Amino acid sequence: MKSVLFPAVAGALLALSGAALADTPVSAVTDLNVRAGPGPQYPVIGVLAAGQSATLTGCIQNSKWCTIAEAGGNGWVYSDYVTGEFGGNRVVLTRRPAEANIAIVQPPADDIYTDNYTAAIVAGEPIDPIARPPAAVGTYVTTHRVDPVYLEGEVVTGATLPESVELREIPDYNYRYVYVNNQPALVDPGTRRIVYVMR
């Protein structure tokens, strides 16, 4: 998959609290949305492709949202889908050791930021997405847009949606669709796992 570089977002990152800590190289375990702010309510400004590297610049304390820098600019990613080297081991950023020297960043002081969600996307092992759906499926999903549901987490293949999320049928197609965090996704109705993210 082609990597998409994201543009610089003026003001998206706030100053680090305390002394500056060393930046940490990280990489995505699956194609991962890069957002203009720390949460699904912020717009997607790019994609960190599976295996693509970036520099971790900090994380919000007691949150899974972290800031990264990449050749194309800065943005926010959900740490369940990012790995880094800590203590000689490559680990998911969310499970990093307590003694890891990661800078703490403050959340934006705007009207968009929230940490109050009714449910969460359950992170799962990444899976290979299905083949690109037929054009008729993409047209159906975009012309039959539904109100998005906002969940804690990020929309990636392999993630499982909670039972409370209503899946919509697509005529003559095996998968259902939903707009999660304003991102259309195809979902296996039997497992409720996301099988394709429509970008």
pLDDT in tens, 2-47: 344 343 333 333 333 333 455 789 999 999 999 999 988 889 999 9
Residue 199: closest CA among 8, 32, 7: 32
Biggest CA pair distance of the chain:
57
State residue 84's pLDDT score.
94
Q: How far is CA 161 from CA 25, 76, 90, 92, 152, in A?
A: 30, 22, 27, 20, 11
Q: How far is CA 165 from CA 41, 121, 189, in A?
A: 17, 10, 11
- Which sequence spans correspond to the domains of the chain? 24-105, 135-197
The CATH fold assigned to 24-105 is SH3 type barrels. (2.30.30)
Yes or no: say if 18 and 106 are a contact pair by the CB < 8 Å rule.
no
Average pLDDT over residues 115-119: 51
Whether the predicted model's global pTM rises above the 0.85 cut: no
Yes or no: say if 157 and 195 are a contact pair by the CB < 8 Å rule.
yes
To the nearest 10°, report the CA torsion of 2, 197, 70, 116. Answer: 180
The full DSSP string for 130-179 is PSPPPHHHHHHHHHT----B--BS---TT-B--TTSPPBP-TT-S-EEEE
51-98 pLDDT tens trace: 999 999 999 998 999 999 987 789 999 999 999 998 889 999 999 888
